[in-house]
Amino acid sequence: MQTDNEDIAERVGEPSTSAGGMDPNHPLLQRAQAVLKRQLIAKKLRVEGEFREKQGELQASAAAGRGACNRSDAPPRRAEHTRA
């Protein structure tokens, strides 16, 4: 048995959607999809920038940590335990 939405979509010649919404390729959705795409791209660029910044901080911290082994104020290294 068809739902009212499926019946209307069939009469109009549009493919019906199982979610009861509009076809994702419907022309009325183009503006909303364009806005959403711009928002997603902007967010992606922000996250990538933050990631590069954190990655640079981590690399700088790691580089500074490598030199710490030669300093007298460096924390002592843990002793390695061996099994007998």
10-33: per-residue pLDDT in tens?
665 555 555 558 888 888 899 999
Q: Pick the more confident residue, 15 or 34.
A: 34
- CA neighbours within 13 Å on the CB side: how many for 9? 16
- Predicted confidence at residue 47, as pLDDT, reads 98
Residue type, 84: A
**Averaged pLDDT of the chain:** 77
CA distance 33 to 28: 9
Can you say whether the dihedral through the CA atoms of 52, 53, 58, 63 is positive or negative?
Answer: positive
Q: How far is C-alpha 24 from the chain's CA centre?
A: 22
Q: Report yes or no on 48 lying in a domain.
A: yes
The average pLDDT across 67-78 equals: 58
- Predicted confidence at residue 39, as pLDDT, reads 98
Q: How many separate domains does the chain show?
A: 1
Q: Report yes or no on 51 lying in a domain.
A: yes
Q: Report yes or no on 19 lying in a domain.
A: no
pTM above 0.85, yes or no: no
For 58, the domain range is 24-67
